[in-house]
Copies of this chain bind each other. A is one copy, B any other.
């Protein structure tokens, strides 16, 4: 399906409270927020939204412990829950959980179910954070093997990244340019430390603008987290658009953050600020699907 056939895509970030290790309560909270905010085509929860991102959860990865929370992406109870809910609300839902990857490996996974109630993506976090207070590797997590996280939502190609992935520009290039994504999700559990105010918002804006894509970064509510960001592919004036494009963000309270993917904004930004055309051919081949789709969209109007 082409962007032209779809019109704007309405997406909602859910900045939920973290209930440490209380999987059923986390699922119920996500459902309540989704049902209270109908009319969106894609709902996005933070990193490990089903269990909560915290030491109490990560320290249970030891496979000899009976309460080990990791589960299978296809057959686990978390996916079953969201499959039912997605069918019921007629939308895509993206949620996080610890994935049992077999052979003793546990991955930090962000999955997507579609309105038919089917699992369409299970992306394993490629870059694990292992510095400061954040020791995913020390807790026993394994990095994803490098499969990109890409799915289609009403004709829009959507990429998925998780938290620390944001620091690595080549992943966003691969999603935006090679895989033709126009929206990239960034579920996170970005702890509000001394570096947070600068790095979180700045890196989100840079990744969106340098790639000409929408970016939705969704974290937990609470004093330690917050500041989920919805970023357009440019911030400021764009020739041909009546109003400047602006990023939006939340505070630390629980809440929702809407983002609307507007094909006509994407097209205006890429025409006015042609980064996607201007990259030097010695460094990277020009993007394939993304711009081709926009061309087809233009010619079809």
Q: Which residues of A contact B (CB under 8 A)?
A: 126-132, 143-146, 164, 167-171, 173-174, 194-195, 198-199, 202-203, 205-206, 209-210, 235-237, 244, 272-275, 278-284
A284 nearest CB neighbor, chain B only: B170
A283 nearest CB neighbor, chain B only: B170
Min distance, Cβ A149 to any Cβ of chain B, angstroms: 13
Min distance, Cβ A206 to any Cβ of chain B, angstroms: 4
Give the chain B neighbours of A128 by CB distance below 8 A: 278
Min distance, Cβ A57 to any Cβ of chain B, angstroms: 22
Give the chain B neighbours of A284 by CB distance below 8 A: 170
Give the chain B neighbours of A244 by CB distance below 8 A: 194
Min distance, Cβ A195 to any Cβ of chain B, angstroms: 5
Q: Are A146 and B236 in contact (CB under 8 A)?
A: no
Give the chain B neighbours of A126 by CB distance below 8 A: 280, 282-283
Given known pairs A127-B278, A131-B273, A145-B282, the reply for A199 and B194 (CB within 8 Å) is no
Min distance, Cβ A225 to any Cβ of chain B, angstroms: 18
Partner of A280 from B131, B143, B210, B283 at Cβ < 8 Å: B143
Given known pairs A143-B280, A280-B143, A282-B146, the reply for A168 and B202 (CB within 8 Å) is no
Give the chain B neighbours of A273 by CB distance below 8 A: 131
Q: Are A127 and B205 in contact (CB under 8 A)?
A: no
Q: Are A198 and B205 in contact (CB under 8 A)?
A: yes
Q: Are B171 and A130 in contact (CB under 8 A)?
A: no
Q: Are B199 and A209 in contact (CB under 8 A)?
A: yes
Listed from nearest, the 10 A-B pairs whose CB atoms lie closest are A146-B282, A169-B169, A126-B280, A206-B206, A170-B283, A195-B236, A194-B236, A202-B202, A168-B279, A194-B237
Given known contacts A168-B283, A174-B283, A194-B244, what 17 new A-B pairs fall within 8 Å (CB)?
A128-B278, A131-B272, A146-B283, A167-B275, A168-B210, A168-B278, A168-B279, A168-B280, A169-B169, A169-B170, A170-B279, A170-B283, A170-B284, A195-B236, A195-B237, A203-B206, A203-B210
